[in-house]
Amino acid sequence: MLKLFKRPDDEEIKPRLKGQAIIDFIIYRSKLIEKIFAVLFVIAAICFPFVNINYDLSKYLPADMPSKQGISLMEKEFGYPGIARVMLSDVSIYEAKAYKDRIKNIKGVDLVLWADSKTDIYQADKFIPYRDIEDYYKDGYAVMDVVFTGGESDQSTRDAIQEMKNMLGEKGAFSGPAVQNKFLSEVIPQEMIYILILGVMVIFGILILTTNSWFEPVIFLIVILISIVINMGSNLIFGNISSMTLSVAAVLQLAIAMDYTIILLDNFNRERKNQLPVTEALSNAIRSSVTPVSSAGAAAFVGFIVLVLMRFSIGRDIGLVLAKGIVISLITIMLLTPAFILRWYKLIERTEHKPLVPAFAPIARKIYRFRFVFLILLLITSVPAYIGKDMTDFTFGNDAMGLSKGTIVFNDERKTNAVFGRNNIVMIIMPNTSMVTERLLSDELENRLYVKYVTSLANSLPEGIPESFIPDSVKGSLHTEKYARMLVSLKTASESDLACNSINEISQIVKKHYPEDSYIIGATPSTMDIKDVIVDDWTKIDLISMLGVALAIMIAFRSLALPLVLMIPIQMAIFVNMTFPYLAGKQIMFMGYVIVSCLQLGATIDYSIVMTYHYLEWRKKTDKVTASINAATDSMLPILTSGLILAVAGFGVSFVSSVQAIKDLGTLIGRGALLSVFMVITLLPNLFIWSDQLINFKGKKLLPAGLGKVFGAKRQSFNNTKDMGE
C-alpha cells in the first residue's frame, strides 16, 4: 500500500497511522492533484464567459405574485419587451418625425410612441396644436417611448439601443429599464475584474505584513484565485446568476477563504520548526488543520446557505453561489495547498523574515483594564442600534442597480425629466373581450392626474372603425386572440409612495372593468411585490441564520452557553453597521442589507471562534483573567488579518463600482468587518471573564478530540509575545 503513494524524492517518515490514507494520498499524489486542478481551472475559465447574467430583479419573484403572473402571461402572448425613453434635443417637429421613422425601422424595435399618434404633424406649422402634444415635443426637444421586440436583457435590444445612439449622437439622451440593463451589462463584468485586481494587490500587502515569509502570500493568492475561477465557471450549472452575485462573489470568496490557507500554512511552519521532515510536518499540519478550517467554513456556509430559503429567489442565487464557493475553497485549500507547499517549501523557508507587526500583549492588558468602559459602550449603543437598524430607508427595485448617481444613464434621465417630467411606463394585460370595455378603461385612466398617456388599440382606432380593418402587423403588438395589452405612462418615479398609490388605484379601476385574468406589470408593480416578499423573507431568514450559526458553535464546543456569548459581539456589530445608513440619511437596497447581515454573521463569527479556542485552552492552565488576556493576545493577529482582508474587499467594491447598490453593499461589508473586529477584540475577552462559570465546566470535555492540541499549536504560531501566563 505504501508503494501507491511513494515518490522517489520524498523523505522517509514513520509508519502511517491508522486512517491516514486520505492524508497520504494528498501528500504522495500531489502532482496528480495539481494536474486535476489545472484541468478544472481551464474548464472553468472556458465556461465562465457562457454564464448568463440577469439584471432584472423581477425575474426572481415567486410564481404566485401578481406581477410575476402578469409577466409570464405577457411573455406567452406578446413577449416580454424591453422599454426605453429617448429624448432628442435641438430638433424641429419635422426632424423629430424623421428620426422617429428611422428608429422604428431599426431591427429589434417594435413600437415607437410619439406625438404623431395624437395629431397630424405634417400640417402647416401654425395649425399644429403644440399645447396638446407638450408631453412629446416642446422647445426644440422631442421625447419618444421605444418598445423593443426582445426583452431588456436580449442582445437584439442592446444592439438596437446602440444603433440608436450611433444615429443620434449628442442629440440623444437615453433612459429607461432597457438602457439601464445595457449599462449594467457593460460595466459590471469590467468592474468585477478591477475589484478583484485591487483586492489582490491590497490583500497581498496585508499578508506581507502579517506572515513570516515573503513567498507565503503568493501561495495564498494562487490557491484562492484558482478556487474563485472554478467557482465562477461552475455557475454554468445554474444557467445564469444575478448581476449582484457577479459583483461581489469573487472578492468575498477571496476574503473569506484566505483564513483557511493561513491556518494550514501556519501549522506546517510550526511543524517544520520542530525539525520534522517535510512530508511528516505536512501530514501533521493537514491533520491539525481539518477541524479549525472545517469549523470556520461551516459557519460561513450556514451564513450563506440560509439565503436559499428566501421566496425571493435572488437569495437562492446568491446563497448557492457563495456557499458553493466556500465548499470549493475548502476542497481546493486542503488538497492543492499541500501540493504547492511540497513544490515550494524551500522557497518559503529561504524567504522567512521577522514579524513586521507589533506585540499585542500591551493592547490585551488595556482591554482588560478598560473592561467596564467597553461594557458601558455596549450598553449605551445596544438599544439605539437595535432600533436604528430598522429605521433605515430602503429601496427594493431595479433603479437602485441601474440608476446610480454620476452615471450616463442617471444624467440622461435627469436631462429628460427636466424637460418632460418623469415617465414610468406600466402595462396592463386583460382579456380581449370587448373593444367598448377597453375604450372605457383607457378613457378612465387618461383622466387621472398622474397619467401622462394611455396607448391601446381601442383608443387608437377612430370611432366606428372595426378592429378587422387593422392590419395584423399593427394589431399584433396590442392584441392577440385572447388578450389585449395597454401601455400607461405615469408621471412618477418607478419607486415612490406616489407611484405605489397610483398603481393601487389603477388596479382597482382595472378590476372594475376586468374582474378576472387582468394584470398590471412594470417596474413599480414588480417593486411592490419584491418589497412584500423580501421583507417577509427576512423575518424568517434572520432567525434561521442565527439559529444555524448557534447550532454550529454548540456542536463544535459542546456547550449551550457559548453560542450566546460568542454571538453578542457579532450581533452588536451588525446592529451598529446597519444603523449607519439611517444616521447618514442614506437609502440602501434592502437585498444588500439581507446579504451583509448573513455575511457578517457567518464570516466574522470565526473571529469569536478563534478567540474561544484560545481562551478554553488557557483556562485549563490558569485563572480566568490571565486566560482572557492571553487569549486576546494570541487571537489579535489572525483576527486583524482576516478582518482587514474582508474590509479591504468590501471597501474595494465600494471604491471601484459605479453602481450605487453595489457601492452601498461594499461599504456595508467593509464597515461591518471592522466593527466585528472591534467588538470581538474589545468585548469578547471580558465576556469570557463575566460568563466563566457558564462556559467553563471543569471536569467535562468541551472540545472534540484533538482540538485543544490543534488550537494550542495555532496559538503558538500566531503569538509574537512572551506567554503572559507562564
Helix (H, G, I), strand (E, B) or coil at 595: helix
Would you say residue 700 has pLDDT above 50?
no
State the pLDDT at residue 444: 92
Here the cell at position 276 is: 520534522
Lowest mean pLDDT among 446-455, 505-514, 544-553: 544-553
Which residue did the predictor score with more confidence, 496 or 5? 496
Its pTM stands at 0.78
Please identify which residue in the block is written with the cell numbers 374582474.
515
The pLDDT of 161-168, averaged and rounded, is 92
Q: What is the pLDDT of residues 507-535, one digit of tens each?
A: 999 999 999 889 998 888 988 888 888 88
State the pLDDT at residue 704: 42
The pLDDT of 448-462, averaged and rounded, is 82
DSSP conformation class of 134: T
Lowest mean pLDDT among 31-35, 253-257, 435-439, 452-456: 253-257
Which CATH fold topology does 422-528 show? Alpha-Beta Plaits (3.30.70)
Contact indicator for 648, 575 with CB cutoff of 8 Å = no
Contact indicator for 405, 502 with CB cutoff of 8 Å = no
State the pLDDT at residue 476: 66
| Contacts for 662 with CB less than 8 Å, ≥ 6 apart | 188, 244, 247, 248, 401, 653, 654
State the pLDDT at residue 465: 58
Here the cell at position 411 is: 444624467
Lowest mean pLDDT among 242-256, 266-280, 344-358, 394-408: 394-408
Lowest mean pLDDT among 195-199, 365-369, 720-724: 720-724
pLDDT above 70: percentage of residues in the chain: 89
User: What would be the CATH architecture of the domain defined by 66-175?
Assistant: 2-Layer Sandwich (3.30)
Q: What is the pLDDT of residues 132-143, one digit of tens each?
A: 778 888 888 998
State the pLDDT at residue 39: 96
Here the cell at position 283 is: 501530514
State the pLDDT at residue 150: 83
Q: What is the pLDDT of residues 242-265, one digit of tens each?
A: 888 887 788 788 877 877 887 788
Would you say residue 27 has pLDDT above 80?
yes
Which residue did the predictor score with more confidence, 237 or 23? 237
Provide the pLDDT confidence category of residue 463 given band limits of 50, 70 and 90. low
- Is 1-50+211-353's fold the same as 422-528's? no
State the pLDDT at residue 409: 84
Please identify which residue in the block is written with the cell numbers 419618444.
144
d(CA 160, CA 19): 63
Would you say residue 722 has pLDDT above 60?
no
Contact indicator for 690, 379 with CB cutoff of 8 Å = no
> Where are the extended beta strands (E) located within 135-263?
137-138, 141-148, 172-175, 240-242
d(CA 472, CA 256): 57
Q: Which of 674, 586, 659, 581 is nearest to 385 (CA)?
A: 581
Per-domain residue ranges of the chain: 1-50+211-353, 66-175, 422-528
Would you say residue 464 has pLDDT above 60?
no
Q: What is the pLDDT of residues 67-113, one digit of tens each?
A: 888 888 888 887 777 888 899 999 988 888 899 989 999 998 888 88
Which residue did the predictor score with more confidence, 430 or 261? 430
Lowest mean pLDDT among 397-406, 435-444, 672-681: 397-406
Would you say residue 38 has pLDDT above 90?
yes
> Where are the extended beta strands (E) located within 302-435?
393-395, 424-431
- For residue 454, give the amino acid letter: V
| Contacts for 312 with CB less than 8 Å, ≥ 6 apart | 60, 61, 62, 530, 533, 534, 537, 591
State the pLDDT at residue 466: 59
What number does CATH give the domain 1-50+211-353?
1.20.1640.10
State the pLDDT at residue 462: 61
Provide the pLDDT confidence category of residue 502 given band limits of 50, 70 and 90. very high
pLDDT above 90: percentage of residues in the chain: 15
State the pLDDT at residue 622: 87
d(CA 379, CA 669): 24
The pLDDT of 406-435, averaged and rounded, is 86
Q: What's the mean per-residue pLDDT of the chain?
A: 81
The pLDDT of 218-225, averaged and rounded, is 89
> CA distances (Å), 63 to each of 66, 71, 209, 268, 530, in order?
8, 10, 51, 52, 12
d(CA 229, CA 246): 12
Based on its alpha-carbon atoms, the radius of gyration of the chain, rounded to whole angstroms, reads 31
Q: Which of 531, 490, 493, 495 is nearest to 507 (CA)?
A: 490
Q: What is the pLDDT of residues 42-66, one digit of tens each?
A: 999 999 989 888 887 778 888 888 8
CB atoms < 10 A from the CB of 537, how many? 21
